[in-house]
Structure 1
Amino acid sequence: MKITVVGAGGMGSRFAIMLHQAGHNVELVDGWQDNVDAIRANGLKADFNGEPVTVKLPIYSPAEVDATGEKPDLIIVFTKSNQLRSMMEAVKPIISPVTYVLCLLNGIGHEDILEDYVAKDHLILGITMWTAGMTGPGQVTLVGNGDVELQNFEPAGEAFTKQVVQVFTEAGLNPKYSENVKYSIWRKACVNGTLNCLCSLLECNIGELGSTTVASDLLHTIIAEFATVAAKEGINLDEQEVYDHVAGTFTANIAGHYPSMYQDLVKNHRATEIDFINGAVWRKGQKYGIPTPYCALLTQLIHAKEQLVGAVERTKAHV
């Protein structure tokens, strides 16, 4: 399968490497020029569970996409949510009538943007529980295990989506074809809406957050706001199960992990995706007349911290 990975940050690099190793034709698109230059010069370098790996992959900046002349079977989107529209504008020349787009971004509501670039029956939504991090241009650290959950947005896309599941299986990405991926997207958003923003504000890793006496109350309250808003959209989250899922990370093998929002905001002083996570719940709550005071406060605090550290928009993906 010919695959274009849009966003060569930590997670995009993980998927690109694993799909390449499985024998697929993979290319990258990334907006961070230092990253593009490093991968072109030295290959994409990874510390892959303690083993050094280098793969040579073609990579293009957004301005170069039109010059490739090739149309992929599948585009996997790993850019940041707040960069999604601009990146889709850039890759529009390589989207053909038979191209499918798979969105694995953290957060809620990305399909509203993607529908402007691909037919609904060529749109695949999903979530991933893999982790990854960047250590510098063209360099990533990949540790632990994970999985992927996928579902076609419209029934007509089922056959191709199941083909993607097979491709991902061969690459060791542990995919699952879902019958209700929107539930899983909201469930994953609860993970991001708790761990990401709280670790960023407190400047701690997941395990350190879990060691505080207030962690449990914070999780229950934030998850309740997500669940109340989700119910208005026909998605009935099991609050206790979601809480157990999130709290389980405090003692899991990723307890020492600093979430992507922490890496963006605290480490690299980049703008975050908060408007597509807690901010989305806050906006939807206003739409439905539902109070979401914790999501509102967390969104405002993250934006305040962005301003205090001089966070800027950059097209470097780091999911």
Structure 2
Amino acid sequence: MLSETSQIKGLTLITAYLLTSNEHLTVCHPQSKAVTMPALTDLNIAVVGTGANGAGIGADLVNAGLRVTWIEQWPDNVAAIRENGVRIEFGQLDAGGRVETAHPRVINLCEVATLREKFDAVLLLVKAYDTRWACELIKPYVAEDGFVIGVQNGMSVDDIVAVMGEERSLGAVIEITAAMYTPGVVERHSDRERSWFAVGAPSSAGVRHVATAAAILRTVGVVEETTDIRSAKWMKLALNAAELVPSAIMDLSIADAAKTEGLYDVMLAAGNEAIEAALADGCQVRPIFGMEGDVASNPETFVETVLAELIANYILSYSRSTILQDWMKHRHSEVNELNGFVVQVLRSAGKPAPANQAVVEFAAEIELGTRERGIHNLEALAARVRELGGLVG
């Protein structure tokens, strides 16, 4: 019997063929019986949430010749894209970067009610805390045999299932580094060969959609099809718990945060607590980003290994976390769905999460306006972690 990895490699060749073919192919997924995949050009696709990641992904789908509708909640972004298209800036333009453009069909949230069509595939790229209402919004417009895939941080797949049902729900791990500070303009810091996804179904009922979703996302980056999407998403959450909010609290890029003495210890502690939470939740430590070796699947070394991989290969020196980008725009962040979720799971297991608890507290104060982000928070943050019982030894 072929290993899961070998089967996935075979599916990769098949789904890559679909990108340029109008034929329908029958494939076997490791968890399912044979399923017939439509040609990608036959699909009607929606991208819900076209900020930095959504617009970057959506642009690749449009430029691959797929039929795509963008549904966006920022009116200025919709207006800019309708007038000029979307501009994707890859890397630093003054240091060998390049610009790509796309001209999608884009509508405002308030225009969804005017749609008279059904979507075969919906890529959900809203914030994790917006998942449930976004699913309710789009549900009437999803084809009977269509699906919704959460291409998001956090454990949003359960919210998708709650609205769409197991047979029409998929989850994805996403690693794309991007930013959007100006309507219609995306800074994409990770090119396609350094954009990574894992795609899977939370139950066997939705497995038939995995190969199609993976084929769609292969227009954007490297895709792994997994039979354990929950564990994969927990591994990404562990990385996010370590990098996103701690760096934002200090107002630093992710790379600079990881080089800051004292802060790196807090980041590792937060990530390691997330690994502990994943195990308490019944999930497994497993490699992501295509990493291999014992250090990528060992609970004691996973976080430092994946953080080093992220910094070396998936971000630029000046890449800011999505949390920091939210705060710069005076928006609420996903801290409760990331670090807060770790606290919640460990509390349910009767265990503390001092690093994540402290991070949540500081983030809440920043969002309330009672604390300013900046490196001056480092000593106080570390002290609070110790007060809660962390950073021992």
TM-score, scaled to structure 1: 0.90
* Aligned match for 1:194, one of 217, 242, 255: 242
1:111 aligns to 2:157 (yes or no): yes
**What are the superposed Cα offsets for residues 249-289 of structure 1, whole Å, 9 maximum, x if unpaired?**
34446232111111111x21211001100101111222221
Give the equivalent residue in structure 1 for 2:3.
none
Shift in Å at residue 204 of structure 1?
0.5
* Aligned match for 1:39, one of 78, 81, 91: 81
1:148 aligns to 2:209 (yes or no): no
* Aligned match for 1:124, one of 158, 165, 170: 170
**What are the superposed Cα offsets for residues 161-218 of structure 1, whole Å, 9 maximum, x if unpaired?**
112222333x142111112221221111111111111111111112211222224422
Query: 1:101 is aligned with what amino acid?
Result: V
- Matched ranges for 1:54-133 at <5 A: 54-108=101-155, 110-133=156-179
Give the equivalent residue in structure 2 for 1:213.
261
- Matched ranges for 1:253-292 at <5 A: 254=315, 255-265=317-327, 267-292=328-353
CA distance in 1 between counterparts of 2:128 and 2:58 reads 19
CA distance in 1 between counterparts of 2:303 and 2:128 reads 23
CA distance in 2 between counterparts of 1:5 and 1:72 reads 10
SS at match of 2:200: strand
CA distance in 1 between counterparts of 2:60 and 2:45 reads 12
**Stretch of structure 1 that moved more, 145-154 or 195-204:** 145-154
CA contact (8 A) 1:77 1:102 kept: yes
CA distance in 2 between counterparts of 1:26 and 1:86 reads 21
What stretches of structure 2 of length at least 5 have no aligned partner? Answer: 1-42, 92-96, 286-297, 373-393
Query: 1:112 is aligned with what amino acid?
Result: D
Give the equivalent residue in structure 1 for 2:65.
23
Give the equivalent residue in structure 2 for 1:316.
none
TM-score, scaled to structure 2: 0.74
Shift in Å at residue 116 of structure 1?
3.0
Give the equivalent residue in structure 2 for 1:314.
none
CA contact (8 A) 1:206 1:249 kept: no
C-alpha RMSD of the superposition: 2.0
CA contact (8 A) 1:107 1:276 kept: yes
* Aligned match for 1:233, one of 267, 281, 284: 281
Larger Rg: 2
Give the equivalent residue in structure 2 for 1:307.
368
1:167 aligns to 2:209 (yes or no): no
CA distance in 2 between counterparts of 1:252 and 1:23 reads 29
CA distance in 2 between counterparts of 1:300 and 1:210 reads 21
CA distance in 2 between counterparts of 1:107 and 1:79 reads 11
**What are the superposed Cα offsets for residues 25-56 of structure 1, whole Å, 9 maximum, x if unpaired?**
01111111111111112212221343222221
Shift in Å at residue 310 of structure 1?
10
CA distance in 2 between counterparts of 1:227 and 1:305 reads 26
CA distance in 2 between counterparts of 1:247 and 1:263 reads 22
**Stretch of structure 1 that moved more, 239-248 or 203-212:** 239-248
48 and 216 in structure 1: CA distance in 2 versus 1, 3 angstrom threshold = closer
Give the equivalent residue in structure 2 for 1:134.
180
Structure showing greater relative contact order (alpha-carbon pairs closer than 8 Å, 6 or more residues apart): 1
Shift in Å at residue 304 of structure 1?
0.5
* Aligned match for 2:56, one of 14, 26, 51: 14
**Stretch of structure 1 that moved more, 227-236 or 295-304:** 227-236
Number of paired residues? 308
Query: 1:258 is aligned with what amino acid?
Result: R
**What are the superposed Cα offsets for residues 36-84 of structure 1, whole Å, 9 maximum, x if unpaired?**
1111122122213432222211112222112111111110010011222
CA distance in 1 between counterparts of 2:213 and 2:255 reads 34
CA contact (8 A) 1:78 1:105 kept: yes
CA distance in 2 between counterparts of 1:2 and 1:134 reads 26
What stretches of structure 1 of length at least 5 have no aligned partner? Answer: 312-319
Give the equivalent residue in structure 1 for 2:388.
none
